[in-house]
Chain A
Amino acid sequence: MGSRAAVVMGVAVVLFAAPAAAERVASGVTTVVADATSSPSVAAPAEASPFRGAVAPDVSFGVETSDRHASSRSANEDASAQRVVRGRRRTPPRRGIGVHGFLLYERTAMIASQSFDAVLGSSTLSGSGGGVEVLRLWRGLFARVVGSSARGEGSRALIAGSETSSNDIPVTVEVSPLVIGAGWRVPVGPTGRIVPYGGGGFLRLSYRETSKFATADENTIAVFHGYTVFAGVDVGIWKVLSAGVEAEVRHAPRAIGKAGASQIFDEHDLGGSAIRVLVGVRY
Chain B
Amino acid sequence: MNDCSQSRRPRRPFRTWLLPASALTAVALLTSGLSAQRAVPRGSVLPAAASAVQRGTVPLSVNARRVQAMSDATEQHLRYLPSQVLVKFKSGVSVAGRSRALSALRSRPDANALRWIGDVAVLTDETQPDARVLADALGAQPEVEYAQPNYIRRQPGWRSGAYRTPAAVAPSSALTPDDPDYSVLQWNFSLIDMPGAWTINPGGSPSVTVAVIDTGVTTDSGTITFPIWTGQRFEATALPFGPSPDLSSSRIVDPDAEVLLGDGAPLIDMVGHGTHVASTIAEDANNGMGLAGMAYNVRLMPVKVCIGYWEVMIGRAMSSEPGFADPAAGGCSDDAIVSGIRYAVDNGAKVINLSLGGPDPAPAIRDALMYAVQHGAFVAVAAGNDHDDGNPVEYPASYAPDIDGVMAVGAIGKSEARAYYSSTGDYVEIAAPGGDDTQGGGEDQGYIWQTTLFPPDQDPTVLVRPRFDRYVEVGYEGTSMATPHVSGLAALLMSQGDVKSPKAIEAFIKATAKDLGTSGKDDEFGAGLIQPRAALRGLGIAN
Closest partner residue, chain B, to A258 (CB atom): B542
| CB proximity to B under 8 Å, residues A87-126 | 112, 115-116, 118-120
Given that A165-B497, A165-B498, A165-B500 are known contacts, is A173 also in contact with B537, CB under 8 Å in the complex?
Answer: no
Q: Please name the residue on chain B nearest to A264 by beta carbon.
A: B539
Q: Which of A157, A160, A209 contacts B542 (CB 8 A)?
A: A209
Known contacts A165-B498, A165-B500; is-contact A209 B537 (Cβ 8 Å): no
Given A165-B499, A165-B504, verify A156-B540 contact (CB < 8 Å).
yes
A219 to B497, CA, bound (A): 20
B508 at the interface (CB under 8 A from A): yes
Q: How far is the CA of A223 from the CA of B319 in the complex (A)?
A: 78
CB distance from A56 to the nearest CB of B (A): 47
> Is B200 close to A, CB under 8 A?
yes
Question: A119 touches which one: B497, B500, B537, B540 (CB < 8 A)?
Answer: B540
Structural contact, B540 and A211, CB atoms closer than 8 A: yes
- Complexed CA–CA distance, A159 and B497 (Å): 13
- The answer to whether A158 and B541 have CB atoms under 8 Å apart is no
Interface string of B500-523 (1 = CB under 8 A from A): 110110111001000000000000
> Which of B497, B504, B538, B541 is within 8 Å of A116, CB to CB?
B541
Judge if B199 is at the interface, Cβ distance under 8 Å: yes
What are the residues of chain B within 8 A of A169 when measuring CB–CB?
A: 200, 496-497, 536-538
Interface positions of A from 155 to 195, Cβ below 8 Å from B: 155-161, 163, 165-169, 171, 173
* Residues of chain B lying within 8 A (CB to CB) of residue A171: 540-541
Q: Please indicate the chain B residues that have their CB under 8 angstroms from the CB of A119 in the complex.
A: 539-541
Those of A216-257 within 8 Å (CB) of chain B: 218-220, 222, 255-256
Q: Check A203 for interface membership: any CB of B closer than 8 A.
A: no
Q: Are A260 and B503 in contact (CB under 8 A)?
A: no
Q: Which of A115, A158, A163, A222 contacts B538 (CB 8 A)?
A: A158
Smallest CB gap from B507: residue in A? A160
Which residue on chain A has the smallest CB distance to residue B404?
A160
Contact B508 A209 (CB under 8 A): no
- Nearest B residue (CB) for A166: B497
On chain B, the residues within 8 Å of A161 by CB distance are: 503, 507
| CB atoms of B539 and A260 under 8 A apart | yes
**What is the CB-to-nearest-CB distance from A110 to chain B, in angstroms, rounded to a whole number?**
9
Q: Cβ of B498 and Cβ of A173 under 8 Å apart?
A: no
User: Which residue from chain A places its CB closest to the CB of B197 in the assembled complex?
Assistant: A213
How far in angstroms is the closest Cβ of chain A from B147?
35
**How many A-B residue pairs lie within 8 Å, measured between CB atoms?**
108
Could you tell me if A260 and B496 are in contact, using CB atoms closer than 8 angstroms?
Answer: no
Most chain A Cβ neighbours within 10 Å, of B498, B506, B543:
B543
Closest Cβ of chain B to A125, distance in Å, is 11
Least CB separation from A112: chain B residue: B541
Selected contact of A167 from candidates B501, B507, B536, B542, CB within 8 Å:
B536
* Structural contact, B508 and A160, CB atoms closer than 8 A: yes
In angstroms, Cα B540 to Cα A120, docked, is 9
Q: Is A18 an interface position by the 8 A CB rule? A: no
Which residues of chain A are within 8 angstroms of B507 by Cβ–Cβ distance? 159-161, 163
Which B residues touch A211, using CB under 8 A?
Answer: 537, 540
In the complex, what residues of B have CB within 8 A of residue A120's CB? 541
Does residue A214 face the partner (Cβ distance < 8 Å to B)? yes
Q: Mark A198-215, 1 if CB is under 8 A from B, else 0.
A: 000000000101010110
Which residues does chain A contribute within 8 Å of B493, judged by CB atoms? 158, 167
Query: What residues of B have a CB within 8 angstroms of the CB of A220 in the complex?
Result: 540, 542-543
Given known pairs A157-B538, A160-B508, the reply for A209 and B543 (CB within 8 Å) is yes
A163/B501 contact (C-beta < 8 A), A168-B496, A213-B199, A213-B200 known: yes
Total residues of chain B contacting the partner, CB 8 A: 24
> Is the pair A213, B538 in contact by a Cβ cutoff of 8 Å?
no
A261 in the interface (beta carbon within 8 A) = yes
A157 near B539: Cβ-Cβ < 8 Å: yes
Interface residues on A, range: 35 or more
Q: Is the CB of A115 within 8 A of B541?
A: yes
A60 within 8 A of B: no
Q: Is A262 an interface residue (CB 8 A)?
A: yes
Q: A165-B497, A213-B199 are in contact. Are A261 and B503 (CB under 8 A)?
A: no
User: Which single residue of chain B is at the shortest CB-CB distance from A165?
Assistant: B499
Interface: A259 (CB within 8 A): yes
Q: Per-residue CB proximity of B526-542 to A under 8 Å, as 1/0?
A: 00000000011111111
Evaluate contact between B539 and A156: CB separation under 8 angstroms. yes
Tell me which residues from 254 to 274 in chain A have a Cβ below 8 Å from any Cβ of chain B: 255-256, 258-262, 264
What CA separation (Å) do A155 and B498 show in the bound complex?
11
Write the nearest CB–CB distance from A259 to chain B, whole angstroms: 5
| Contact A219 B543, beta carbon cutoff 8 Å | yes
Quick one: closest B residue to A210, CB to CB?
B540
Residues on A with C-beta less than 8 A from B501 are 160, 163, 165
- Whether A156 lies near B542 (C-beta < 8 A) is no
Residue from B497, B504, B542 within 8 A of A260 (CB atoms): B542
Whether B498 lies near A209 (C-beta < 8 A) is no
Chain B 234-278: CB-based contact to A (< 8 A → 1; otherwise 0): 000000000000000000000000000000000000000000000
- Tell me, in angstroms, the Cα distance from A218 to B497 when the chains sit together: 20
Q: Which residues of B contact A158 (CB under 8 A)?
A: 493, 497, 499, 504, 508, 535, 538-539
B residues within 8 A CB of A213?
A: 199-200, 537
Minimum CB–CB distance from B179 to chain A (whole Å) comes to 22
Distance, CA A118 to CA B508, complexed state (A)? 14
Q: Is the CB of A256 within 8 A of B541?
A: yes
Q: Is the CB of A259 within 8 A of B542?
A: yes
* Chain A positions 56 through 95: 1 when the CB is less than 8 Å from some CB of chain B, otherwise 0: 0000000000000000000000000000000000000000
Residues in B whose Cβ lies below 8 Å from that of A255: 542
CA distance A260 to B535 in the complex (A): 11
Contacts of B497 in A (CB 8 A): 155, 158, 165-169
Q: In this complex, what residue of B is CB-closest to A152?
A: B541
Contacts of B498 in A (CB 8 A): 165-166, 168
Q: Besides A159-B539, A222-B542, A258-B542, 19 other CB < 8 A contacts?
A: A118-B539, A158-B493, A158-B538, A159-B508, A160-B508, A161-B503, A165-B499, A165-B501, A165-B504, A166-B499, A167-B496, A167-B536, A167-B537, A168-B497, A169-B537, A219-B543, A260-B541, A261-B540, A261-B541
Q: Which 7 A-B pairs have the closest CB atoms?
A: A160-B507, A156-B538, A168-B497, A167-B497, A160-B504, A167-B538, A165-B499
**Residues of chain A whose beta carbon lies under 8 Å from any beta carbon of chain B:** 112, 115-116, 118-120, 155-161, 163, 165-169, 171, 173, 207, 209, 211, 213-214, 218-220, 222, 255-256, 258-262, 264
Enumerate 27 A-B pairs (CB-CB under 8 Å) in ascending A order: A119-B540, A155-B538, A156-B538, A156-B540, A158-B497, A159-B508, A159-B511, A160-B506, A160-B508, A165-B501, A165-B504, A166-B498, A167-B496, A167-B497, A169-B497, A169-B537, A173-B540, A173-B541, A209-B540, A209-B542, A214-B537, A219-B543, A256-B541, A260-B539, A260-B540, A262-B541, A262-B542
